[in-house]
A and B are shown apart, each in its own frame.
Chain A
Amino acid sequence: MNNKKYYKELAEDCMLSFTDAEIDEIVAKEENLKKEFENVLKIDTTNVKPLFYPYDDIHTYLRDDEEITVIDQKVILNNAPTATGDFVTIKKVVK
């Protein structure tokens, strides 16, 4: 697959925009990762169950439905790529 073309399409789908230099960097990183993973893939994982947690512990803690915390709307809207009025806005996601 032409990775550069693939990433351009993926960026378009995700409504992100990358420069050619950024895409080159991503492609290079991916190639490097693949090489690293070649070593990982050599490990025999037959009969090894997936591990999702760092510890095999069972917890009991549940949060009480009491304390309420919010962050200021200004913080949220300022942190969003774009905002209009009270809303976070993005390029329309449905046709």
Chain B
Amino acid sequence: MKNFEIIIGIENHVELKTKTKMFSSAPVSYGETPNTKVNEVDMAYPGSLPVINKKAIQLAIRTCHALNMEIDTLVKFDRKNYFYPDLTKGYQITQQYNPIGKNGALVINVNGVEKTVDIERLHMEEDTAKQIHKDDLTFIDYNRAGTGLVEIVTRPVMRSADEACAYVEKLREILLFLKVSDVKMNEGSLRTDVNISIRPFGTNEFSNKVEVKNLNSISNIKRAIEFEVERQTKLMLNNEIIMQETRRFDDTTNSTVSMRSKSDALDYKYFREPNIMPIQLDKNWVNECIQNSPELADVKRNKYTNEYKLSLNDANIILTSIEMTDFFEEAIKYTNNYNKLANILISDIQAQLNTQNISIDKLALSPTHLAEIINLVDKSVISSKHTKAILPIIMKDNSKSVMHIVQELNIKMISDETEITNLVNPIIESNLELLEQYNERPERVTKTIMGQLMKVTGGNVNPEAGMQIIIKLVELKAK
């Protein structure tokens, strides 16, 4: 395997996070009743005409900028002609000749080594309908037809499955934090096609390119590339021709399966879309789109580790979810114990989210509530272990204040000196024999009394204040 050089190029289809579709005012949806989120434009009813969604252009510009691309402010669209029921018009509106973005670059980090991935183009287009092929029928749901997409195409510069995975992960993070897309690979809002070819080291020509389509997870990208490299290597070693073809990955067999050969490729007879006149974008508006772009994860990561002193691991866990990140950033407005906040988020709360398979915004818990809990611990009003009693309640129901719950659970810590003294005195009186050991084993004596103090108060004494008073009273008595 090491005798061969691998070359990989990636195409990603990204569903845009807009309210309405790319060229029609029908809503963008997922998982809704089939054929309820479409209008005349999506169904190509006679006389209907496409009109470009401003927000979709804005999101494409944000992405182009983040990927260091040249932006073409004269927007033009083309027709990709094919006869298939997933688009009723008989063609897809796309940008074959004038992509909105070109010549970009994205720096990835693979096992500590940085690499720049050149990006050839980013173009806008519309998504197609979903089809289910069952028995002798094809069932079509047009809800997805017309949803805005950007397609991002790299140059063939990646040399391993790890580089390909790092590229898609980095791209996914950028698109997520720019709020360009939900980038849910399992739901199809980020879809990956990988082109793979190999050549023996020292030769110039690569083998025919094989495209593996619609990979729906990072692990499947890795497995598909590894399988494909092995398959192509075996063919090359046996002096067999690697066919130029499109394949799909079957994750049940962990292998790729041929879908069609290049000889079956369609001629799409592209031509300029006559129903959409060229649109000149205002340069000031383009600059505004760029300036108003949300903060990228890299900027946040830097801030979390340097300014807030979180570990890189904790920062990365928070940054895997935009909802968790938003929650964290809201909560830090109300507490400055960033590490405690991060710890609770990625342990107790993440466990709850995993159990329920939901994101944090679906919990009743608010950032102010969590910050308040942390502040109460920091002020020794409640103990750290009591957060575990409060959290399950407040994650389900935020109608009561944190203090109200503290009172209901009777977990407010006793810090008042007189009150603690009144509690410690009887314990000392009933342990006079123990006090005789104080000079030899002071720690044993104070800890035993502390244990009894915690027992009688249900663990509700401020340990620091309690210990100070115990030492003071024991020393007084031991004299």
Contacts and interface: CB of A to CB of B under 8 A. Distances in A.
B37 A70 contact: yes
Interface string A70-81: 110100110100
Interface string A21-60: 0000000000000000000000000000010110101111
Contact of B57 (A62, A66, A76, A88): A62
Interface residues of A, number: 35
A70 B140 contact: no
A89 interface: yes
Nearest to A65: B55
A82 B306 CA distance: 62
Nearest to A95: B133
Contacts of B85: 88, 90, 93
B277 A63 contact: no
A55 B18 CA distance: 31
A87 B280 contact: no
Contact of B54 (A62, A88, A92, A94): A62
Interface string B32-46: 011111111001010
Interface stretch (B20-28, B208-216, B295-303): B20-28
A42 B273 CA distance: 27
A59 B52 CA distance: 11
Given A63-B51, A63-B52, A94-B138, A73 B278 contact: no
B33 to A, nearest CB: 6
Interface in B126-175: 131-133, 135-142
Nearest to B140: A88
Contacts of B34: 85-87
Contacts of B39: 69-71
For chain B, the bracket of interface size reads 35 or more
A65 B133 contact: no
B38 A90 contact: no
Nearest to B274: A52
B53 A70 contact: no
Contacts of B20: 63, 65-68
Contact of A57 (B43, B84, B277, B281): B277
A5 interface: no
Interface in B274-297: 274, 277-282
A35 to B, nearest CB: 24
A65 B60 CA distance: 14
Contacts of A70: 26-27, 36-39
A84 B27 CA distance: 23
A69 B278 contact: no
Interface in B41-92: 43, 45, 51-57, 74, 83-85
A70 B137 CA distance: 26
A91 B279 contact: no
A59 B33 CA distance: 37
Contacts of A93: 84-85, 131, 133, 138
8 A-B pairs with least C-beta separation: A65-B55, A62-B54, A52-B272, A87-B139, A86-B34, A88-B140, A63-B51, A59-B277
Interface of A: 14, 50, 52-53, 55, 57-71, 73, 76-77, 79, 84-94
22 contacts: A52-B271, A53-B272, A53-B274, A58-B279, A59-B278, A60-B281, A62-B279, A63-B25, A64-B55, A69-B39, A70-B27, A76-B43, A86-B33, A87-B132, A88-B142, A89-B137, A89-B138, A91-B137, A91-B138, A92-B137, A93-B85, A94-B138
